[in-house]
Structure formats: C-alpha cells, structure tokens
C-alpha cells in the first residue's frame, strides 16, 4: 500500500498537496516532514539500529526515524515509527521531548523538515522486535562509542547532522 506525505513549503507551512512516497517532487521547493527518535536509557546510552543491507545506506547504524504520513502529527509519527521498526510502545511513560526542528535542502529530491525527539526509556535489547525489511540489529552505545562510529563512517550519513542538537 503506498504511503502519502503532506507537502510543505520552506517555511514549514502545509501546501494543501500530498505526494506519494517514491514519486519525484512536483516542485523543487517541496518539503516533507521527517522524524528522528533517540531513545536514551538511564545509563546515558542511546539506542542505535542497523539498517537492512538491501536498504539505501544498508548496514549502517542510525536512530529510529521515518517520514510523517499525510494527516499525521509529528509526535504520533515518532511513536508509530518506533513501534513499527523495533516493536516498542512509547505511549506509556515519560513523554518525548522535541530536541530540535531543522530543515535540510536537497537538490533533485525532496527536501525535509526534521523533528528530532528524545525519549528516556530502559528497554532490554532482547525485548525488541525488528521490522525485518528495515532493521537487522540494535545496540546501546555511550557518547564515546557514538562519536567513534560517526568518525568511522558507521552511521547513516543523513543522520549525522542532527548530532549537533543532541544533548549527550
């Protein structure tokens, strides 16, 4: 079943148009909304998931994230993505914190407005249920390991920019 996105302008105003995922943008000025979700445990470690090898940037590590669907709110999309990709229900417990909102312009493809969320949760790795076509592994990492992975090129490159907004 195809996914549809609301289309936004550069100032994050909805245009009233929707677009099917995978179709080229109707205008070079089109943006869509994306969420990134950091899960941090009580040790200060963050959860990374490893992308399926068949996906773009396959085999690289990232935080959970994805596109906001047409008619969906940003926080609801964040919770949906975490439930879909790793089987964790974030509706109970402390609410997520919006860390940052930023925009990334990409020529020839959709530009995106990103909402970056933080949820504080202690989740055992063995309790995760991976969406097989998306995620193949997960691990908790501390700040030093996260930075080493970034320097070694082990993180999906489009996820590196929001690190400046992440409070370690």
> The CATH number of the domain where 8 resides is what?
3.90.79.10
> In the prediction, which pLDDT does 108 show?
67
Domain count, the chain: 1
> Which residues is 14 bridged to in the sheet?
8
- Tally: H helices and E strands in the chain: 2, 9
Instruction: Specify the 3-state DSSP secondary structure of 81.
Output: helix
- Distances 66 to 3, 79, 126 between C-alpha atoms, Å: 11, 10, 23
Q: Are 97 and 45 in contact (CB under 8 A)?
A: no
Nearest to 140 by CA among 42, 46, 37, 38: 46
pTM for the structure as a whole: 0.89
> In the prediction, which pLDDT does 28 show?
87
Nearest to 80 by CA among 88, 149, 13, 17: 88
> In the prediction, which pLDDT does 138 show?
98
> In the prediction, which pLDDT does 164 show?
55
Range of the domain at 62: 4-165
- Distances 13 to 8, 28, 32 between C-alpha atoms, Å: 5, 15, 10
Tens place of pLDDT per residue across the chain (168 aa): 899 999 999 999 999 999 999 898 888 899 999 999 999 999 989 999 999 999 989 999 999 999 999 999 999 999 999 999 999 999 887 778 887 787 888 776 779 999 989 899 999 999 999 999 999 999 999 988 988 998 999 998 665 444 455 554
């Amino acid at each position: 079943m195809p996914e549809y996105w609301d289309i936004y302008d550069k100032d994050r105003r909805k245009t009233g148009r929707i677009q099917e995922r995978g179709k080229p943008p109707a205008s070079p000025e089109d943006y869509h909304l994306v969420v990134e979700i950091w899960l941090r445990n009580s040790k200060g470690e963050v959860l990374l998931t490893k992308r399926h090898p068949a996906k773009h940037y396959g085999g690289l590590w990232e935080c959970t994230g994805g596109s906001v669907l047409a008619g969906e709110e940003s926080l609801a999309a964040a919770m949906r993505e975490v439930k879909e990709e790793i089987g964790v229900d974030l509706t109970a417990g402390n609410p997520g914190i919006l860390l940052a909102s930023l925009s990334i312009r990409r020529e020839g493809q959709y530009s995106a407005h990103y909402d970056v969320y933080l949820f504080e949760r202690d989740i055992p790795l063995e309790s995760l249920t991976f969406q097989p076509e998306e995620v193949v592994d997960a691990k908790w990492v501390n700040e030093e390991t996260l930075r080493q992975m970034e320097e070694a090129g082990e993180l999906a490159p489009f996820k590196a920019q929001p690190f400046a907004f992440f409070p370690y």
